[in-house]
A and B are shown apart, each in its own frame.
Chain A
Amino acid sequence: MAEIGILHYLVVAAALFVLGVIGVLTRRNVVVVLMSIELILNAVNLNLVAFSRMYGLHGQVFSIFVITDAAAEAAVGLGILIAFFRNKETVNIDEVDLLKW
């Protein structure tokens, strides 16, 4: 079998990214949508770490910043979800239409 190069890792990351995009665009449950966003962020992290194998440690440092961002995003997103559930008793993303008229 062929030697595992950087392109292999990039293809895996692209597959995870596309799966995350499908999840964000098609699912109705807000919790699953947030999990799909985590999938997207992880795909980006895999890209960063794979390139850091070629260019030195800066990619790994940046992937730590991305993980920090993911934690902040998850906390705020789930807080919004709880506030929304308290008001409308639903977690479906297409029923979030308070600002539409």
Chain B
Amino acid sequence: MEPVATTFFFYLLSGLAILGGVLVITRRNAIHSALALILTLLALAGLYLMLYAPFVAGVQIILYAGGIMVLFLFVIMLVNLERSAKEEQFNKQWIAGIAAAVALGGLFIYVYTKGKGLFPTHVATLPEQSNTQEIAILLYGNYMFAFEIASLLLLVAIIGAVVMAKKRI
């Protein structure tokens, strides 16, 4: 099915994503930052849908907006941020940090304007109805080993988080 009003939805969703990103790094209250980050994540899920990646969009909403952000909000609830909210929010070397980030942005602009013609313009014919099946075939075929390593990584992360957060082991 051809997507409708691609231009409109692209600018709407990317505008929301960038607005959320700006709010994340400027808000004083960490809970507001977390909610702005959820806005960004949901807008990105919409962009994934526009790129014919419904499975990644679903994973983005379930895992990121539903899982990781709950973790963040729990930790914000556990640690006392009231004192930190009254203090200075930016560190002493913020000018150097912003200069470095602006240099990085300038590099991006340079590369994307110089190499405009190098990016591919043809579009691959991606399966629409069977996206999840195709990803599963790749995941359990080509990327079997990486998949198993990822499960090991998650195990290590669980043990690490418990060891870090526990009072006495």
Contact = CB atoms under 8 A, between A and B. Distances in A.
Interface of A: 1-12, 14-23, 25-29, 31-32, 34-36, 38-39, 42, 45-46, 49-50, 52-58, 60-61, 63-65, 67-76, 78-83, 85-86, 89-94
A44 to B, nearest CB: 11
A72 B87 contact: no
B149 to A, nearest CB: 9
A89 B81 CA distance: 10
Interface of B: 6-7, 10, 14, 17-18, 21-22, 24-25, 30, 33-34, 37, 40-41, 44, 47-48, 51-53, 55-56, 59-60, 63-64, 67-68, 71-72, 75-76, 78-81, 83-84, 87-94, 96-98, 100-102, 104-105, 108, 112, 116, 119-124, 126, 131, 134-135, 138-139, 142-143, 146, 150, 153-154, 156-158, 160-165, 167
B161 A78 contact: yes
Contact of A18 (B64, B72, B105): B105
B60 A14 contact: no
A12 B60 CA distance: 17
Given A8-B10, A28-B88, A45-B56, 15 more contacts: A9-B51, A10-B119, A12-B18, A17-B104, A31-B81, A32-B30, A46-B44, A53-B53, A53-B123, A57-B131, A60-B131, A61-B142, A75-B71, A75-B160, A81-B75
A11 B112 contact: yes
Contacts, number: 243
Contacts of B52: 53
Nearest to B28: A29
16 contacts: A18-B108, A20-B25, A22-B97, A23-B24, A28-B84, A34-B72, A38-B37, A52-B126, A53-B126, A54-B122, A60-B131, A65-B150, A76-B161, A80-B164, A82-B78, A82-B79
A39 B78 contact: no
Nearest to B94: A26
Contacts of B67: 71
B60 to A, nearest CB: 7
A27 B79 contact: no
Given A42-B41, A53-B51, A26 B98 contact: yes
Contacts of A46: 44, 47-48
Contacts of B150: 65, 68-69
